[in-house]
């Protein structure tokens, strides 16, 4: 058995005009959450926007083209959105500039989240995430993103061939449910922690990130700047903490 991979074209309809904003290779399913999460983490959809004002529908029988109709009140920087989509695999600019760009759109401060998480809870999270990865169990070929409470209970999980897509599906679900900002929740990544994933987590208000794999240097810098606790190489007995270690008891 292998994981399904298919293209998803995301288009926006606004003021009677339709424009394509992204094409991503994804695991079909939860396309609406994926598209909404992508637009939210890119700063297009405000956390205060009423989800009922946004409609979505597929335009083809294969369900590979999704159209989102946005209210006229949503301001879109088309040039920035196109540039971010084009450079999705890499920021395309120097680290300092990348971090500054994040701060121009992130809606939260850098000092919230005064909780503490037990060390034993941190080390238990990857295995708990793994037990919820149904597609991975069958195929071994997808990434996962899971949301946990501070006691380590799994609340939500999404899987996708793309790790960014898995996070966007989570972010879209949270946005639709009006749960953002997620100051008192933990997000767990099945792979490495890249700059883009830290940016998405920061946009969503997360203050605690656990990754099974390694973070990049720029991911660590951004997590530190945003006041986020970032743990990597998390195993049953050990892990590395790269920033925000004051939240670990």
Among candidate residues 220, 226, 192, the one with its CA nearest the CA of residue 206: 226
- What are the residue ranges of helices labelled H in 106-230? 119-131, 134-139, 163-176, 195-203, 217-226
Mode of pairing for the β-strands spanning 186-189 and 208-211: parallel
User: Cα(106)–Cα(228) distance, rounded to whole angstroms?
Assistant: 13
Q: Which tokens is 190 given?
A: 């099945």
Residue where the block lists tokens 């920061």: 202
Q: Which of 91, 145, 182, 231 is catalytic?
A: 91
What does each C-alpha distance from 117 to 22, 99, 148, 225, 232 come to in angstroms? 37, 27, 11, 20, 15
CB atoms within 10 A of CB 71: 12
Mode of pairing for the β-strands spanning 17-26 and 6-14: antiparallel
Concerning whether 91 is annotated as a catalytic residue, the answer is yes
User: Cα(106)–Cα(151) distance, rounded to whole angstroms?
Assistant: 27
Question: What amino acid positions are annotated as catalytic residues?
Answer: 91
């Amino acid at each position: 058995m292998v994981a399904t991979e298919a293209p998803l074209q995301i288009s926006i309809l606004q003021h009677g005009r339709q424009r394509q904003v992204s094409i991503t290779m994804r695991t079909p399913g939860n396309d609406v959450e994926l598209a909404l999460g992508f637009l939210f983490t890119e700063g297009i959809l405000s956390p205060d926007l009423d989800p009922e004002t946004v409609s979505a529908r597929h335009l083809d029988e294969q369900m590979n083209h999704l159209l989102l109709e946005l209210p006229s009140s949503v301001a879109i920087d088309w040039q920035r959105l196109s540039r971010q989509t084009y450079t999705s695999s890499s920021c395309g600019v120097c680290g300092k500039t990348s971090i500054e760009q994040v701060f121009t759109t992130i809606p939260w401060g850098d000092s919230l989240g005064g909780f503490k998480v037990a060390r034993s809870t941190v080390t238990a999270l990857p295995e708990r995430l793994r037990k919820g990865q149904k597609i991975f169990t069958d195929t071994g070929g997808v990434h996962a993103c899971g949301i946990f409470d501070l006691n380590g209970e799994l609340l939500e999980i999404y899987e996708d061939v793309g790790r960014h897509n898995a996070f966007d599906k989570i972010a879209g679900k949270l946005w639709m449910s009006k749960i953002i900002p997620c100051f008192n929740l933990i997000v767990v990544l099945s792979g490495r922690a890249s700059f883009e994933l830290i940016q998405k987590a920061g946009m969503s208000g997360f203050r605690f990130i656990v990754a099974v794999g390694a973070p990049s240097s720029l991911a660590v810098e951004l997590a530190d700047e945003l006041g986020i606790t970032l743990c990597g190489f998390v195993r049953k007995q050990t892990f590395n903490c790269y920033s925000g270690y004051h939240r670990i008891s």
